[in-house]
Amino acid sequence: MWIEKTKNGKFKFVERYEEPLTGKTKRVSITHTKNTKKIREEMLLMLNLKIEEQLNRRDKSAITLGQAVDRWAEIYKRTVKPSTYQTTTQYITAIKSELGDILVSQLTAPIINSFFENCLIEKNLSRAVVTYRKSVIIRVLKYAANNLSIDKTDIIPHFTIPNINISKRNHNKYLEPNELAKVLSVLEARSDYYNLAYILVHTGMRYGELVALDYQKDIDFTDNSISINKTYYNITKTYSTPKTGDSRTIYFSNDLAHVLNKQIMSAKLMKLKHNFPRDNYLLFPTVHGNPIDINNFNFYIGQIELPDKKITSHYFRHTFITMAVQNGMSKELIAKQVGHTSQQMIDNIYSHFTKEMSNQQKEAMRNFKIV
């Protein structure tokens, strides 16, 4: 509580409080002619009663979807990695822009479904994007039911997204040997990009894991191992734990050791030339001492013409997995190397190559002769 003296000589006793539903700060006040210790005690008691009255009077059903989204987002932000939250903010913004002023208590399935259709038809968004927006709305409604006493979860089962704008899934996000050879040949004009692609395809690392490496601490040439204990999130420009949350040790071939040493030498020269801080031991720094930007890399390699493929850095990771499968490495070892908590993708590749090998066996036996 604080006291303001008015122009007519009276005293205004003021207190702030926060509305639990909106998070907004409001104030209440009472004016009195005196300012004694006893009066201050009385005013504080009266202000608290006034605040309680205001809070009790507040109709919880008056909260808008936008306000509910903000409350949910504040909690969600604390439970996920910064990069995950940053990605979700675009969906939050879209939902608030179109539906934010509608009271949660007034929401209906047709209102939400109309929003989905508008996203698909008017804005021409992919069904995958709209599906994610749907998941955010569902999480917000569950939060409102559990934390804001506004239960509209009964409309969730009636949400529908039309089967249009369905993106074609490319299950062949890996490079065949001839395609890989072409890509590496093109990248020879950019030694840093060549080395980056070469390391990715020979280790199965994620892009963020590779550019976060400290070549002095994380690479051990005595046993050809790399310690992966962090990743770089390009969106937020921050470092965090690996995607799965666990550190791991991976191993590399003698051929790759040569490329790693070349890249370390390049990084050292750049450090001297641009006067990086002494503790900067990034394997792939820019002239500003930051990790190479994945968007620039993806744009560069995306210009390489390959039939039905517009490649990104992730192609190299999948290419490593396909080569490991073809070389007889077990699914368990591949999962450890690439840091997969789920083997579903590896199983899919195994299934693909098992079918391919079966076809090769069929062809080989078609004209098989003993004599």
Does the model's pTM come out above 0.75? Answer: no
Burial class (CB in 10 A: 0-12, 13-18, 19+), 190: middle
Residue 25 has pLDDT above 90, yes or no: no
Average of per-residue pLDDT across 152-162: 96
| pLDDT score recorded for residue 149 | 85
Q: Taken in order 128, 134, 140, 143, is the CA torsion positive or negative? A: negative
Q: What are phi and psi of 56, to 5 degrees?
A: -70, -30
Query: Residue length, the chain?
Result: 371
Among 43-52, 166-175, 218-227, name the one with the lowest average pLDDT: 166-175
pLDDT digits over 312-362, tens only?
999 999 899 888 888 888 888 888 898 876 667 677 766 666 566 566 656
Indicate the average pLDDT of the chain.
88
Among 139-143, 262-266, 339-343, 353-357, name the one with the lowest average pLDDT: 353-357
Among 52-61, 147-156, 328-337, which range has the highest average pLDDT? Answer: 147-156
Superfamily of domain 177-359: Intergrase catalytic core (1.10.443.10)
| pLDDT score recorded for residue 308 | 81
| pLDDT score recorded for residue 333 | 86
pLDDT category of residue 304 using cuts at 50, 70 and 90:
very high
Who's near 252: CB < 8 A, 6+ residues apart?
Answer: 202, 203, 224, 225, 226, 260
Overall CATH class of domain 65-158 = mainly alpha
For the chain, what are the domain ranges?
2-58, 65-158, 177-359
Residue 137 has pLDDT above 80, yes or no: yes
